[in-house]
Amino acid sequence: MQLRVGAGEPWDAWVRWTLAQGLVGLENLILIPGTVGAAPIQNIGAYGVEVARSILSVEAWDRERNCFVELPANDCAFGYRDSRFRREPQRWIISAVRFNLAREGALHLDYAGIREELAGMRVEQPRAVHVAEAVLRLRTRKLPDPALIGNAGSFFKNPQIDAALAATLRMRHPGLPQWPQADGSIKLSAAWLVEATGCKGLREGDAGISERHALVLVNHGAASGAQLWALAVRVRDAVHMRFGVLLEAEPRVLP
């Protein structure tokens, strides 16, 4: 089923609507703040699913050509938390997104936390609504509510490294989660790396790392952007010094 959604629609409300219609595909992405139009810019993802897998095309105003265009998903250069819209922010103004969703389809249960949550819910044959409920419980428990404490969600991307470095780290740190990628690289858990440096719960003034999730940078009150960035750099450098892996910020940091 193809559906066209305006860019200004709230993302979470859209996901909940698809669930109410019995559609499959976006259940892992429930409770992510933001709008439908922002989703392809970052190629938002959570719990093993990226939005790109459900996007048919993106409609946008092209500021170079002064016209509306419809870009098929293959022309959007989607990558891990990346797209051509993120790389060319001055060119594109997204107006709508076309999705391809179905009433039946495989659920993505690769993330261990979802399987554990479903087991705790005593769900043996999960449907999309069950997966969404499991994700809701996980996010509510692990991530601070931005309405209560300032944060931008996960601040660091999961780094991708070459197989040789991954093998070395596997020998030295057997507990470090690693996920092989299609291009031969290995993706690591940024949260595990940050927590292993002891930075989880770190606080400098009102800038801090959440005690609930090692990737979430939080503002406890009046921290400035510069103070938050200084803390992020401290965490990034700590990970680099210990593991030789350089973390990259997930949100776009404005000067």
The reply to whether 83 belongs to the active site is no
Residue of 54, 57, 83, 154 marked active site: 154
The reply to whether 195 belongs to the active site is no
* Residue 168: alpha-carbon gap to chain centroid: 27
Structure tokens at 254: 């404005």
Residue of 27, 54, 81, 189 marked active site: 81
CA distance 30 to 133: 9
CA distance 127 to 107: 8
The alpha carbon dihedral of 225, 228, 231, 233 has a sign of negative
The reply to whether 154 belongs to the active site is yes
3-state DSSP assignment of residue 131 = helix
CA distance 208 to 232: 9
Which residues are bridge partners to 46 per DSSP? 49
Strands 178-180 and 203-204: unpaired
Q: Which residues of 236-250 are buried (b: 16+ CB within 10 A; e: fewer)?
A: bebbeeebebebebb
Q: What are the residue numbers of the active site?
A: 81, 154, 250
